[in-house]
Amino acid sequence: QPPKLSLSMTIGSKERKASYKLKGIIYLGQNHFTSRIIGKKGEVWYHDGMTTKEKCIYEGQLTTMSDIHHARGRTACMIIY
């Protein structure tokens, strides 16, 4: 089962809260990891070192993506804030 994905999270006590925005997702499938990187303005970039090499492919805005749990046949396995 994929991890629960939230676009942001807040941790800490009432006096000391810290908020974080989703910055990346790592996917696993077919014995291979890929990733999506989220920019400051919510733009989503896909990276697969085996096929895209050093380039990232623009996929759109995070808020308009219908499925961030899966990417090109792979399932989210790690979330980075």
Ordered DSSP codes for 26-50: EEEETTEEEEEEE-TTSEEEEE-TT
Output the pLDDT for position 31. 95
Give me the pLDDT at residue 14, please: 87
Give me the pLDDT at residue 3, please: 62
pLDDT value at residue 11? 94
* pLDDT tens, per residue, the chain with 81 residues: 656 788 999 999 989 999 999 999 999 999 999 999 999 999 999 999 999 999 999 999 999 999 999 999 999 999 999
Q: Is 70 helix (H, G, I), strand (E, B) or coil?
A: strand
CA atoms lying within 13 Å on the CB side of residue 11: 3
Pairing of strands 24-29, 43-47: unpaired
CB 69 within 8 A of CB 28: no
